[in-house]
Structure 1
């Protein structure tokens, strides 16, 4: 059955995210139930970052920090060039898209890279897998500290205030569980490694819950009435432009730095991809009901298209030159 076979090839996280958006559209959580759903989402995010803390070997992080020639340009690209590109697009699109959707491009630009996806495609393309693992991990750790204040700085305090309350929520829901996971890694880290499939599905489910809660609020605020077909066309075109800038720019940067081919490939996928695993949970912490879902739209579209682009790109790079 060609339809079933095609559906089976879709990334499992993409399927889960699609299901979460569909469920939020037909059965959004509203009223008093929203507080309960938000508490469940916060608990799922806490678990997600606890698992990340348990999963990431401290020795790999310490070993990878020494590759300054690779890491510093990557950090500058991810939180500098991409943040500015997202900011520029958000200003250009302000008259073409609903304001919160346009603002979502700035939020997208300030996010760190993916972890599993960037590493997997770097491996397929013949890149430096160790560098990719460490880079993605370091970017996500930095993202906990940098994404929210950087977004607030570029968006302006009126659009996205970042105050002590927001910092406390990030510290309690994102940073604290990661630190606990790192501390407990020696005793419990083997459980994550031995049950990799289970923990992967726990990761995906936590992200899907965060997306469901965010989109429930957006649907209640009239998401599908506020974003029409013309808006979707502009959104898709703008995401393609940002994708082209992200992948093309970071590949040229790797060439300008004269990186070894393996490092250049690792730089490409770590610098070109953006993390829905960080984006969705952080949005539910930073933004109120009805806001997070609209801000997340560019992130979700980018996540889907980066997978569509990365697969053939990795296959092309893996061929002998």
Structure 2
């Protein structure tokens, strides 16, 4: 593997720079309130554009390969939360309360879209199924993730209120629904200007990260979070991936899926969306802004880790696929 592939991508570097900026120059007082208002507007625009981007045909196609999608959704919204709860003893021993809460939040998030599809393609999987599964995961996650967070946090006696769950559904689902309803008028423009959605994704995430870490730094994030807890968060995120990917691969084989479908299940079911997760955290934990920086740290760590791990796994799937084709050709001869 070349050293270039191990280097962080530009967006990860931008995230790190944003965290550093918030640590050195956090926004306070009236400026913080102005940034909060801008961030709320950006989040609404982001989900409006995501709604306009999703074709109605993708929703209808989601019904056709229902066994694959049900397997992905089970991994994303059932197995992940159960693993998060199972790791509670380790979380309480190694992490701060906010970092463990952030880890539970990661477990409740929907799958990514772009990178799930990209890794499925690299590995030689069922790309059309990945497109539908990842898109449907995000659509369902807008409503289901807040409900899961409410249930998960109820098990630990705190966290987001059910009013917060209702707020996130209204503040995210309503713009999404309005955007989807407006697709007939603006869908063509969105499809022709896809970079606009990418810039909105990244810009919104950077805004939320800056405001969240600014508030957290003012409240003493780096003073109260030991280095050992950060390293433990990295280890626990790695453990989640190390458990989920083999479980999904084994389940796909036991359920009789093809190799291509197995690849789709592994990559769509094991990944978590930062593009959806950070805006959700900003709304869902609005009453805990002092701790929001620590709450999104596990998601930022998991995001980078899943990119590195999935890149390695995708190349191994692709290599095995080429090798198998070569063996089949020799058998035919």
Q: In which range does the TM-score fall when normalised by the shorter chain?
A: over 0.9
Unpaired runs of 5+ in structure 1? none
Summarize deviations over 1:138-170 as a string: whole Å, max 9, x none: 111111111122112122184124323x24432
- TM-score (normalised: structure 2): 0.90
143-152 or 155-164: bigger deviation = 155-164
Q: 2 CA distance for matches of 1:136 and 1:91?
A: 31
SS at match of 2:104: helix
Question: Per-residue deviation at 1:173?
Answer: 2.4
Conserved 8 A contact 1:210-1:281 = yes
Query: Matches of 2:11 and 2:254 in 1, distance apart?
Result: 34
Instruction: Please show how residues 53-92 of structure 1 align to structure 2 within 5 Å.
Output: 53-92=51-90
TM-score (normalised: structure 1): 0.93
CA 1:217–1:34 in 2, change beyond 3 Å: closer, same or farther?
same
Corresponding residue of 1:23: 21
Match runs of 1:1-321 below 5 Å: 6=4, 10-156=8-154, 158-164=157-163, 166-287=164-285, 288-319=288-319, 320=322, 321=324
**Is this contact kept in 1: 2:278–2:296, CA < 8 A?**
yes
Describe the shift of the 1:137–1:21 C-alpha distance in structure 2 as closer, same or farther (beyond 3 A): same
The CA distance in 2 between the partners of 1:7 and 1:305, in whole Å, is 13
RMSD of aligned alpha carbons: 1.8
Deviating more after overlay: 11-20 vs 106-115: 11-20
**After alignment, is 58-67 or 5-14 more displaced?**
5-14
**Structure 2, gaps ≥5 residues long:** 325-333
Query: Residues 296 and 132 of structure 1: is their aligned pair in 2 closer, same or farther, counting only changes over 3 Å?
Result: same
Higher gyration radius (CA): 2
